[in-house]
Structure 1
Amino acid sequence: MIRQVKHIIKVILIFALVMCWGITLGYTNNIEKENNTINFYFENGNIRADTIKNIEENKSDISVVGWTEKSLQSAINVDLNRNANDLKVLAIRGNSSLLFDGALLFQDDKDGCLIDTETSYKLFGSTHSIGKEITYGERKLIVRGIHDGTKSNIIVQLLEDDNEVLDGLTIDGTDMTLNKIEEFKTTFGIQEMAVSGGIYHSFAKVFSMVLPIIALVLILIKVITYFFKAKRRPVLKIIYISMAIITVAILFKITKLNFSIPLDMIPNKWSDFDFWSKMWKENVDKLQYVLYMKKYGIDIYNIENMMMSGLYSILTVILFVINLKVNKVKDIKELIYIVSVSVLCTFIAVLTIWSKFSFDVNITMLWVLYPLYLCGNYFMDVHEKYFKYEENEIIPEIRIKETVTN
């Protein structure tokens, strides 16, 4: 009975580990955008909606969308006599695809709008609201889709004669280097900092990589330790070096990590230390600016997902440590058993997360990382006695010489 309870506890711990890490990856993927965007947040009120037209005329190769957010707004469903109050309305000039993925609201669609799920229930009693009409102020709008990439409840296009002050401007930064960004700001009189649209996703991605990095470090520590213990055994040292390279290669393969340095970050002279200090100061200032600036609907949605990713990442690390203590692999049968349980738990976790959260977590990293760690750790632990060189071990050549001498 006690043995069965222990097996159940092991299965629960493995499932909890996979589930928490899957949710971490899910929240991270939830704010991943296909577009590489750059945001400007205006606080001085000197940029108006007609600036968008000026940018489009002079920089036709750059996709751009301006936006302003209004709070405490109301919308009405006249047919059902339903109201939705205390809404946030995001009024944009440009295509919504630059702000978030999913439902689209094109720039020339002045009669359309996007609403969130909660507002759809308030106005229609369900999410079947696409193609139906609502009234916002004096405008009658057709619901084009349900959005989930912002905390703004309704998204509309600014009318042609609207020249409101913009709260922000978003541009496509795919081909924008640091120098081109500065040139863009100078051309159109923008003084605010350029903030990457994927900054929150970058932080969330760091959270989701904590577990792979910890697993990699633990394996590498063992490899390095046994490397130095393998005295006068060059073959073993080659094996250890190969294991370290393979481990790092597998991590990069399953996590799809890519490291690149923008050309603008490389100074003309490597002795130009002022360049590096200036770049460091700019990055610190930008981080402080992001922390303290006013947050809008498109930011709050990303911040909430980032924070949830961080929270579940912490839980994942705690469960990983507990699993290391509880699920100790002593033989090959137990290894096969735990790996099989891990794969089964991953399958159930993926189905659960998809059905409840609609997160995309069905990725290679979730399936193979923990089993790979178990196999690598087992290989190092169980075969340790074959890898270590004992201090009192006598090399065969020395034994032969001693025999001849005697």
Structure 2
Amino acid sequence: MSGKRLRDVYITGAGAFLPGPPVGVGAMEDHIGRIGGRSSAVGRRALRWNGVQTRHYALGIDGRPLHSNASMTAHALRAALDNAGLAADDLDFLATATTQGDYLVPGHAAAVHAELGSGPMEIASHQSVCASALTALKHAWLTVRAGEAEVAATAAGEFSSRWFRPEFYEGTALVDARGRARVEADFLRFTLSDGAGAVVLEPKPKAGGLSLKVEWIDLTSLAGRFDPCMWAGSTFADRSDMRSAWSHAGPVAAHASGSIALVQDFELLKIVIRAWIGVWLEKVDTGRIVPDRVDHLLCHYSARSLREEIVGLLESTAAMIPEEKWFSNLATVGNIGAASIWVMLDAFLRSGRARRGERVLLIVPESGRAMVGFAMCEVV
């Protein structure tokens, strides 16, 4: 690669896949199931907090899967390729993202490639929480930029609802003697949705329609400063001790201790939010982000109340981007983890709001262990 000139890279297609019909607020708990047959003590509060009106589940109301994570991700990838005017066999490189794939091993990318049914290609699996969407994007972007691929894609999928069925909690340390689930676990059951999104990258814009030139992608992990904030695989008390992870105890003991379920430390989240904002402010201070030059902001957040807190922290700073420039579809699709930013971008591009020459800033904060990613794009 010595002496080669780095190429410009463009998002030439976007696609999304949302499983099943939209499920309204009043039907969500019946859909995922009631722990111990009882209504959740925090469910209604969680839904008021996150502001989600409808979301999609890849489980039927009988608990049977309608899809796999890999099949949803492949559906979104096909939609993105079609939007770019390409076929699956045109793809040279695939980077996937997910919080929890269908298998423990192998990675999500292999499962998605198999579902796609295309010929040999290079693949890479990125696993974290929401920000893994941008780690996968950066991998695909750099691969095209370096001339290693002509057509690359990043695709992200989540099948969170399968982890929210009552049997993941009943009989474990997460449920007390009264049959109430621990708030840190129960709250997330009303926070996450299922679905997938994808984007296609090429070294030239598509001939017809709009493309997005990817100017830069920055990722910042703050894991050295914080314990896990959202995790699965350890007890609440021992989450920072890797020797206490579920694999050391074995699956049966891990389930009994509540180590298999996804949980979140909401007190730590309040601190992590300020750390995300700190990174954002640094980028404004150094000129990496110039708020007046941003025409559209697509910021992933898990709840309407978190957006309000982010806006409250930014309003008195030079980093604030006016809310009329913000685009979100959280209310209609919910928080789809790693897939959220691509489902959002697909909706934005279909909305007709984008105009040539405008700049679009993508921001994805992640509470897993305090990561935040930024991507700046220009509409061409």
The structure that is helix-richer by fraction is 1
Larger Rg over CA atoms: 1
Larger strand proportion of the pair: 2
Asked if TM exceeds 0.5, the reply is: no
Using the size of structure 1 for normalisation, the TM-score is 0.23
